[in-house]
Amino acid sequence: MTFEPQVEKLDAEALLTPEKESQLSVVWRRFRRHKLAVAGLSVIVLFVLMAIFANIVAPYDPISYQDPYAKNSPPSAQHILGTDEIGRDVFSRLLYAARVSLAVSFVVTIASELVGAIIGGVSGYFGGWVDNTIQRVVDFLLTIPLLPLLLAFSSLLRGITIPGIPDQWASVVIISVILIVFGWMGTCRLVRGMVLSLRALDFSEAARALGMSDGRIILRHMIPNAMAPIIVSATLSLGGVIVLESALSFLGFGIQPPVPTWGNMLQAAQQGMLGQPAKVFYPGLAIFLTSLAFNYVGDGLRDALDPRLKL
């Protein structure tokens, strides 16, 4: 007689006990409420798929294909976005340019965030003369105008051959390295500020008491606890890298033709801009959409990863 009420009581307690939600699902639920961030993520996924499957979707080879009878031709059934000044299909080059521009953006951003996180972690953790030396170097680099510096280094390093890499792709590697070298300072300052507040907490003291080395504490405790702002910073910088690389290529100091990028497609299209302004519109729209989408995603991640916000 007493067994059934106990079962009913246990069932009621189980129903009243809320299931523990994982941190990832909490972030995703909060992120989905940011409609512009979800739309931006959809745009990014679309461009990434275009870049991955460019060799399947593109009807022509973007480098070697040339139609001598269709130079600067308008859109047609054969060339849906027309051709450029030497008869290459604009649609094919636009797809392959997405592959190059996005690949450079992701590689530069990941490498810059990694370098900045490590240097910032070392600076904030050790403090003292180590912190002062690193921060003075960062201050000096931040005072230098970035675009003229990039133009100077791009001009100096142009024409360098890299063993094992075709000459036409050497400029991609050179521009990526230059952007990495001058792109880690913001993350360094961000991580330093986080580590300065983390190193005095109990878990840091406990790790030192257990005999963990300084390098292990930085890599296993300090940087992982600063991952939320690093992720937001990386997302926001992806769009900035695309714009910066496009600006260098547009000015003729970036990735050199025949390798297609959105920037050098803009440079090539400006010669016939009065006759066919749409040739400028296509790569310009791609740059605008991707940079705007990355900014919206970064804004959504910032809100979703901030525990102080109740969304």
Structure tokens at 309: 């916000």
Query: 177 pLDDT exceeds 80?
Result: yes
| pTM, 2 dp | 0.86
Q: Decide if 38 is inside a domain.
A: no
Question: What's the pLDDT band for 19 if we cut at 50, 70, 90?
Answer: low
pLDDT of residue 168: 74
* CA angle, residues 12, 22, 292, in degrees to nearest 5: 135
Structure tokens at 1: 């007689």
* CA angle, residues 231, 235, 237, in degrees to nearest 5: 115
Query: 295 pLDDT exceeds 80?
Result: yes
Q: If DSSP states are collapsed to H, E and C, what string results for 32-45?
A: HCCHHHHHHHHHHH
Domain at 121, CATH number = 1.10.3720.10
Question: What's the pLDDT band for 307 if we cut at 50, 70, 90?
Answer: low
- HSE of 276 in the Cβ direction (CA atoms, 13 Å)? 18
Please compute the mean of the pLDDT values over residues 4-17 and round it to a whole number. 51
Please compute the mean of the pLDDT values over residues 104-114 and round it to a whole number. 95
CA distances from residue 42 to 28, 99, 109, 293 in whole angstroms, order as listed: 14, 17, 20, 8
109: phi then psi, degrees, rounded to nearest 5 = -65, -45
Q: Decide if 106 is inside a domain.
A: yes
The burial of 221, by beta-carbon neighbours within 10 Å (0-12 exposed, 13-18 middle, 19 or more buried), is given as buried
Q: Which residue has the tokens 């963990």?
A: 212
Instruction: Summarize pLDDT for 225-239 with one digit per residue, the tens.
Output: 888 889 989 998 999
Instruction: Summarize pLDDT for 249-279 with one digit per residue, the tens.
Output: 888 888 888 888 998 888 888 776 766 777 8
Closest CA to 125 of 181, 201, 187, 229: 201
Closest CA to 280 of 300, 262, 306, 303: 262
Q: Decide if 17 is inside a domain.
A: no
Q: Decide if 35 is inside a domain.
A: no
How far apart CA 122 and CA 237 sit, in angstroms, is: 22
Q: How many structural domains comprise the chain?
A: 1
Residues of the domain holding 121: 101-305
Q: Decide if 297 is inside a domain.
A: yes
What residue type is 13 in one-letter code? E
Q: Decide if 267 is inside a domain.
A: yes
pLDDT of residue 103: 92
Instruction: Summarize pLDDT for 73-99 with one digit per residue, the tens.
Output: 888 888 898 888 888 899 999 999 999
For a pLDDT cut of 90, what percent of the chain falls above it? Answer: 35
pLDDT of residue 309: 59
Q: Decide if 144 is inside a domain.
A: yes
How far apart CA 250 and CA 265 sit, in angstroms, is: 8
- Higher per-residue pLDDT: 275 or 57: 57
